[in-house]
Amino acid sequence: MTKNLTFARLTLALLALMVVPATVRGADFEITPFVGYTMGGELRDPASGAILDIDEQRDYAIALDINQTSDSQIELYYSRQQTRLKGGGGLFAGNPLFDLDIEYFHLGGTYGTGDGPVKPFVVGTIGATHFDPKEERLDSETKLSLSLGGGLKFRVTDRTGLRVEGRWFGTFFNGVREVFCADGSCRINVDGNVSSQVVVNAGLVIAF
């Protein structure tokens, strides 16, 4: 059931990414489905001083890159990680608090030079991070986020290739805030401005 849900959501994301303005529909573009691994992500409860970790887990992502010049592209990016929030230190270290889905919805661009079969690139995007706790009655949270990264594209044929990359994602909480609330009470107080995650992805590039 979970795998079917993941596939359905990625399919819907792909369809959404393909709805681009008419002015760029005639441009060449690339679609890259990714499988990767997401690490990091830390919240802190100022009441107890406990550090809460986002568990390292596999992620699935998809990128639509619209060619603007031979070196630059506009990129729309979506990823989803099914993970859990757990105690990161002290007596309850490692104990899961609840399951948590994290989604990134981003817009930005890539820049890379080179005419050979291997092309290095850098990428930067901005958008939203959606936290969806899988505990009954807890509210989801959506926060501003950005990403910076880079990687390599390996051309296999004129229409296909491989892409490997690493990205840093920073999600902004703007100081101490209560999150994951239900019925007037909140499960966690967040102390800090930015929660960081690092993502390593590999995917198949399909050019149109």
Partners of 152 in the β-ladder: 120, 164
Q: Are 179 and 141 in contact (CB under 8 A)?
A: yes
pLDDT confidence tier of residue 178, bands split at 50, 70 and 90 = confident
Partners of 62 in the β-ladder: 33, 78
Average pLDDT, the chain: 84
CA distances (Å), origin 56, targets 34, 84, 113, 129, 157 = 17, 9, 33, 17, 34
Mean pLDDT confidence for 62-90: 90
pTM of the prediction? 0.82
Residue 172 has pLDDT above 50, yes or no: yes
Beta-carbon contacts of residue 46 (< 8 Å; ≥ 6 apart):
176, 189, 191
pLDDT tens-digit profile of 146-171? 999 999 999 999 899 999 999 999 99
Q: What is the DSSP string of the chain?
A: -HHHHHHHHHHHHHHHHT---GGGTTS-EEEEEEEEEEE--EEE-TTT--EEEEPPEEEEEEEEEEESSSSEEEEEEEEEEEEEEEE-SGGGTT-EEEEEEEEEEEEEEEE---SSSEEEEEEEEEEEEEEEE-STTPPPEEEEEEEEEEEEEEESSSSEEEEEEEEEEEEE--SSEEEEEETTEEEEEE-SSEEEEEEEEEEEEEE-
Distance separating alpha carbons of residues 72 and 91, to the nearest angstrom: 50
pLDDT tens-digit profile of 99-111? 999 999 999 999 9
Name the residue with higher pLDDT: 196 or 95.
196
Residue 203 has pLDDT above 70, yes or no: yes
pLDDT confidence tier of residue 10, bands split at 50, 70 and 90 = low
Of the candidate ranges 21-25, 28-32, 37-41, 52-56, the one whose mean pLDDT is the lowest: 21-25
